[in-house]
Amino acid sequence: MPGVASPPVILEGFGFGAGASYITTPIPFASQQPNPRASYTDGFPPQTVGATATDPPDVRDFNGILYAATQNIAALLAGQYHEFDSAISAQNTGYALGAIVPAADNSGFWVNLTSGNTNNPDTSVAGSGWVPLAQYGLVSITGLTNANVTLTAPQAGKEMIILSGTLTGNVQIIFPAWTERWLIANNTTGAFTVTCKTSAGSGVVMPQGVTTMIYGDGTNIDLVGSSLSANTGAVANTLAERDANAYLWAAAFKVSCDRWLKKRLRRIRGALDKLDLITGYTFQWRRGGAPGAAVMAQDFAKVCPEGVSTARDGTLALDPMAVIAYLTEALKDERDARRALEKRVLKLERR
């Protein structure tokens, strides 16, 4: 079999059960001179080495050194990585480029992008040179009113961020200038906006009651898909784009309508008469003022309650396929009525 032979697994550090009288732990970092004991600075001092040695090496130090080395190996084998340590940082003039440390809440890892980084990724502001390598979970930013919020590194390290509060003014959520993606759930209320942006770059408004995917390009924050078309050539028209009003644009939308996926099929009866309960309107959106045309969900619920659902904010949403189903059967009713009338007219003409 290629490669190095698998070493024996170290379950605990060498001498983990040793009594305090015959193991030195921890081994001192600083020199112990003139005491002839081992340290990380001197190793075993000169008076313990060679033909002129005046003191033999102390077996307690051997046990302590082996314990320290093998206990670190045992921890790594057990999947335990060492968090950011200011002492390690100071001794090595900061963490090396590419260094990886676990997050303080043990939910993921940080990777260092700055050589000689002395910042603690869990307590420093976002943009301190550490970026999330992998992070589990979500973070909630609560109590939003009218003050801007700058995300901390641990907050920005989560892939999902939930925003809540009653807005009394426009709010900016300041993200680090990372190349990263986030899922933002804007559960705020109030007739104001929440904008996700970097401190020096541009950003996007998060629609209320909507979960939105955004990304950072290292300078700005944008919606996923909103600026991809210019960079994808021939396949640009296959990508959906959503604007700040939650309008979704795409080349086509397809809905699962396979008969195999459904059961208890019943044909809609009397659809033409039921259309009397539904009115088509032109209108203007309260937020943004954009014009539109539609039937109202409240009206359609009288005809087909199963085609109407309630959003998280209490507003009603309409299933377009339900509307199409009723229009299809209404047209058939109209067709049948027209055919019956044509037959009556034909009979009268033949008399």
- Indicate whether 97 belongs to any domain: no
> Around 236, how many Cα atoms within 13 Å sit in the side-chain half-sphere?
9
- Indicate whether 155 belongs to any domain: yes
Tell whether 245 and 293 lie within a shared domain: no
Tell whether 264 and 240 lie within a shared domain: no
**Residues shown for the chain:** 351
Quote the CA–CA distance of 220 and 201 in Å, as a whole number.
Answer: 5
Of 217, 249, 281, the residue that ends a domain is 249
In the prediction, which pLDDT does 237 show? 38
Q: Which residues of 136-155 are buried (b: 16+ CB within 10 A; e: fewer)?
A: eeebebeebeeeebebebbb
Quote the CA–CA distance of 187 and 312 in Å, as a whole number.
Answer: 9
Tell whether 240 and 202 lie within a shared domain: yes
- Indicate whether 112 belongs to any domain: no
Quote the CA–CA distance of 225 and 232 in Å, as a whole number.
Answer: 11
Tell whether 241 and 290 lie within a shared domain: no
Residue type, 282: T
Tell whether 226 and 273 lie within a shared domain: no
List the Cα angle 335/336/341 in 5-degree steps.
95
Tell whether 146 and 233 lie within a shared domain: yes
Residue pair 196/170 in contact by the 8 Å Cβ criterion: no
- Indicate whether 91 belongs to any domain: no
In the prediction, which pLDDT does 6 show? 87
Give me the domain span that covers residue 196: 137-249
In the prediction, which pLDDT does 29 show? 93
- Indicate whether 111 belongs to any domain: no
Quote the CA–CA distance of 313 and 295 in Å, as a whole number.
Answer: 20
In the prediction, which pLDDT does 257 show? 84
In the prediction, which pLDDT does 345 show? 87
- Indicate whether 114 belongs to any domain: no
In the prediction, which pLDDT does 298 show? 93
Q: Rounded to whole angstroms, what are the CA distances from 241 to 103, 230, 237? A: 34, 12, 10
Tell whether 272 and 242 lie within a shared domain: no
In the prediction, which pLDDT does 194 show? 95
Residue pair 175/194 in contact by the 8 Å Cβ criterion: no
Tell whether 190 and 292 lie within a shared domain: no
- Indicate whether 177 belongs to any domain: yes
**Residue 252, token pair as written in the block:** 């086509």
Residue pair 210/162 in contact by the 8 Å Cβ criterion: no
In the prediction, which pLDDT does 287 show? 75
- Indicate whether 47 belongs to any domain: yes
pLDDT by 10-residue block (mean), the chain, 351 residues? 83 91 92 93 92 90 94 91 93 95 93 95 84 92 96 92 96 94 94 94 90 91 60 39 62 79 88 89 85 91 90 83 91 90 86 75
- Read off the pTM: 0.62
Name which of 160, 171, 87, 174 is nearest 127 in CA terms.
174
The beta strand positions in the chain, using DSSP E, are 100-102, 108-112, 130-135, 138-141, 149-150, 160-163, 171-175, 179-186, 194-198, 203-205, 210-217, 221-223, 241-242, 248-249, 280-284, 291-295, 308-310, 316-318
Tell whether 229 and 321 lie within a shared domain: no
Tell whether 148 and 227 lie within a shared domain: yes
Tell whether 266 and 227 lie within a shared domain: no
Of 249, 284, 310, the residue that ends a domain is 249
**Residue 179, token pair as written in the block:** 């190349």
How many domains would you assign to the chain? 3
Nearby residues of 152 by Cβ (< 8 Å), 6 or more positions away? 125, 126
Tell whether 178 and 225 lie within a shared domain: yes
